[in-house]
């Protein structure tokens, strides 16, 4: 199987490049192609005809999207449409990484794939718009929604918490937003299985279980034995430019249909902390 990955230098992309063995995999970063340019995408793909194109590249600064709306839509929506057209031209299947932020967070039970999207943030709006464009452009699509992604090799919530906890006695973390932490290694493995299973349609993939950011931070600090006290607080006390869904737990039923069950976020966190420590020793 031939695979091309856009976003190979990002957090998830790095995990995909490490985990994807046994197939012909080609990774592309922003230096290889700007998603906003149809010409650059066409030139980067050339005449190759990959079986799958995985679009893991995006403008993921959620708060930055609020103040850079035009850029966010250009990269996340127009860029995705450009890749979808190139995939259609080559006869390739497209796996597009989407987000829990396409939902408004008003539910109190896991979101299913057919629940109506109603994004509150610009970031969520760009991803919802990209989903709609891809459906129209390339019928050979797989839209994969995920959430709260963390991993080694880039900026993520656990890395931020550990950096802050190393210099502070207390940390205030919001306890009224609930979702599913997702480890890049486990997500990468699920993507590989989905591509090999010829997956299609909308699928949701996260580590199993859910928690609040406070729960997650508490587990992170405890996992490395730090004495920092993690204190619960509210979203209202820590306003951010982009609104966050209060509840964005994603149902795993669509993933289970392919026989894929991802480990718990607690187990994933243990492996992340081990990987992070090994990475710090080797760098």
* Residues designated catalytic: 123
Cβ neighbors of 262 (< 8 A, separation 6 or more) are: 182, 186, 187, 190, 205, 206, 207, 208, 252, 255, 268
Q: Buried b vs exposed e over 161-198: b needs ≥16 C-beta within 10 Å?
A: bbeebeeeeebbbbbbbbbbbbbbbbbbbbbbebbeee
The closest of 149, 131, 142 to 187, measured between CA atoms, is 149
Distance, C-alpha 144 to centroid of its chain: 9
- Helix (H), strand (E) at residue 146: strand 141-146
Cβ atoms of residues 150 and 158 within 8 Å: yes
Rounded Cα distance between 217 and 85, Å, is 41
| Geometric angle at alpha carbon 179, from 173 and 185, rounded to 5° | 100
């Amino acid at each position: 199987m031939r695979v091309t990955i856009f976003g190979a230098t990002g957090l998830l992309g790095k995990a995909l490049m490490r985990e994807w063995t046994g197939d012909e995999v080609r990774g592309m970063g922003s230096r290889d192609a700007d998603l906003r340019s149809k010409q650059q995408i066409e030139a980067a793909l050339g005449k190759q005809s990959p079986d799958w194109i995985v679009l893991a590249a995006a403008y993921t600064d959620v708060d930055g999207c609020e103040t850079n709306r035009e850029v966010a839509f250009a990269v996340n929506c127009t860029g995705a449409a450009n890749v979808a057209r190139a995939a259609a031209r080559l006869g390739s299947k497209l796996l597009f990484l989407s987000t829990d932020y396409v939902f408004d967070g008003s539910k109190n039970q896991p979101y299913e794939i057919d629940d109506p999207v109603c994004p509150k943030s610009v970031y969520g709006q760009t991803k919802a718009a990209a989903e709609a464009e891809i459906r129209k452009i390339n019928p050979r699509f797989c839209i994969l929604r995920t959430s709260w992604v963390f991993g080694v090799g880039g900026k993520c919530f656990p890395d931020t918490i550990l950096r802050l906890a190393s210099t502070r006695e207390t940390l205030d973390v919001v306890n009224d937003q609930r979702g599913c932490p997702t480890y890049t290694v486990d997500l990468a493995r699920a993507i590989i299985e989905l591509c090999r299973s010829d997956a299609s349609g909308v699928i949701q993939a996260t580590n199993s279980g859910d928690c609040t950011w406070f729960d997650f931070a508490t587990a992170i600090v405890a996992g490395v034995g730090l004495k920092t006290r993690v204190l619960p607080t509210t979203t209202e006390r820590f306003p951010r430019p982009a609104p966050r869904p209060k509840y964005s737990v994603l149902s795993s039923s669509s993933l289970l249909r392919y026989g894929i069950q991802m480990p718990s976020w607690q187990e994933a966190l243990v492996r992340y902390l081990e990987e992070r420590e090994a990475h710090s020793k080797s760098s």
